[in-house]
Amino acid sequence: MLKIAVLGAGRIGQVHAANVAHHNDAQLVMVADPFIDNANALTALYGGTAVNNPLDAINHQDIDAVVICTPTDTHVELMLAAARAGKAVLCEKPVDLDIRKAIAAEKALGEHASRVMLGFNRRFDAGHSETYQRIRNGEIGDLHQVIITSRDPGLAPMNYLKHSGGIFRDMVIHDFDLARWILGEEPVEVFATGSRLFEPSLEALGDYDTVMVQLRTASGKQCQINCSRQAVYGYDQRLEVFGSNGMMLNDNQRETSVRRYGPQETEVRGPLLNFFMQRYTEAYRHEMDVFISAIRNGSTVPVTIHDGCQALKLADAAQLSADTHTVVTVD
C-alpha cells in the first residue's frame, strides 16, 4: 500500500482524496489544510488524520507520497520539502506562476524529479489518449494541425482570478500541455490574441476573458487553441487532429447519448458535462492510478516538472504576444 497525504482540501483536493481512498493499492493517511474544517470534512468521508500544517504530513514517517492541491504559489515550496523528505509527489498545475522559480525547482529536484508528477489530467482522458495513440499508429498519416477548443462554463470568482496568474497561466496551461503532447514536438513560435468581450473589469488585472493562440513547431506543425472563460452551453472540450491521411475528432461528452426528434426540431441532445470535475472524472482517476503504479514500480512518472516548465514558457509567451500583438519565439 502506498501511504498518501493530500495537501489542500479544496476543489481539486476533494477529487484526489476520493481517488486515493478508493484505490486498491493506496491508503489516504493524512489530509493537511490550515483551514482545518476542510481537512476534517475529507477525513470524515475517507478516513485518515486531519492536520493543519502540510509539513507535518510531508515529514511524517508513515507517509510515502503527497498530492499537492494547495494554491499555486505554495507548490514549489511544498514540492521541494517533500523531495528533501524523500517523498513522491503528484503536484497540481501550474508548477508556479514565475518561470524562473519553476526552472529553479526543476534543477533543485535533480534525480528526484523522476518521482514528481505534474497534474496535467487531460493526458489521461480516454478519448485524448486514444487520439494520441492512433496518431502514433499512423491512422491520419503525418500530423499537420491540431485544433483545441477549451471553454469554461462561466467566469471564476474575481477573488480567484486576482491570484490566478491570468487566463494563459491558469487555464490555457492545460491546453499548452495537451498541444505539446499531441504534436510530439516543442512549439517554437507563439502568436496569441486576447480580448475582454464580456468582463471589462479584467483589464485591471491585465487579463482577458477570450483568447486564441497559434503555435508552430520547428518542423512547421501548427496548433490553434480557442479558449473562453464563459460558454453558456457548458464546458466545451474538443480536440481535432488533421493529417496527410485524414482527420480525427474527440468530441464533447454529455450526460446522455439519447437524441430526441420532434415536429419542431431534430437531434435534440442533452447538455454537456458541465465542468472539469464531471468531464474529467475518469481522467483524474486514471491519473492517480498511473501515479501510484509508477511510484510502486519505481518507474519514472510520465508527466514531469519539465513538462510543467515547458507549458509555463508557452503561457508566458502567449501573454506577451497578446499584450504586444507580436509573434513570440520560444526556446
Ligand X SMILES: NC(=O)c1ccc[n+]([C@@H]2O[C@H](COP(=O)([O-])OP(=O)(O)OC[C@H]3O[C@@H](n4cnc5c(N)ncnc54)[C@H](O)[C@@H]3O)[C@@H](O)[C@H]2O)c1
Contacts to ligand X by CB under 6 A:
7-13, 32-35, 38, 54, 69-72, 74, 92-93, 119, 121, 276
Q: What is the DSSP letter of 123?
A: G
Q: Residue number with the shortest CB distance to ligand X?
A: 10
Write phi, then psi, for 261 (nearest 5 degrees). Answer: -120, 130
Q: 92 or 106, CB closer to ligand X? A: 92
> Which grid cell is 285?
482517476
> Which grid cell is 112?
528526484
Q: How far is the CB of 282 from ligand X (least distance, A)?
A: 13
Q: How far is the CB of 34 from ligand X (least distance, A)?
A: 5
What does the alpha-carbon distance between residue 128 and residue 122 come to, in Å, rounded to a whole number?
7
Q: How far is the CB of 260 from ligand X (least distance, A)?
A: 32
Q: 123 or 221, CB closer to ligand X? A: 123
Q: Please answer whether residues 87 and 116 qualify as being in contact, where contact means their C-beta atoms are separated by less than 8 angstroms.
A: no
Q: 35 or 198, CB closer to ligand X? A: 35
Element (H, E) at 149: strand 143-151
* Nearest alpha carbon to residue 30 among 105, 75, 87: 87
Q: How far is the CB of 93 from ligand X (least distance, A)?
A: 5
Q: How far is the CB of 209 from ligand X (least distance, A)?
A: 18
* Nearest alpha carbon to residue 192 among 97, 99, 325, 311: 325
Q: Please answer whether residues 281 and 130 qualify as being in contact, where contact means their C-beta atoms are separated by less than 8 angstroms.
A: no
Q: 33 or 106, CB closer to ligand X? A: 33
Residue 113 φ/ψ region, left for φ over 0, alpha for ψ in the -120 to 50 degree band, beta for the rest: alpha
Q: 32 or 179, CB closer to ligand X? A: 32
Q: 67 or 182, CB closer to ligand X? A: 67
Q: How far is the CB of 55 from ligand X (least distance, A)?
A: 9
What does the alpha-carbon distance between residue 223 and residue 14 come to, in Å, rounded to a whole number?
33
Q: 112 or 174, CB closer to ligand X? A: 174
Q: How far is the CB of 52 from ligand X (least distance, A)?
A: 8
Cis bond before residue 94 (omega within 30° of 0): yes
Helix axes 305-324, 99-109, angle to 10 degrees: 170
What does the alpha-carbon distance between residue 141 and residue 23 come to, in Å, rounded to a whole number?
38
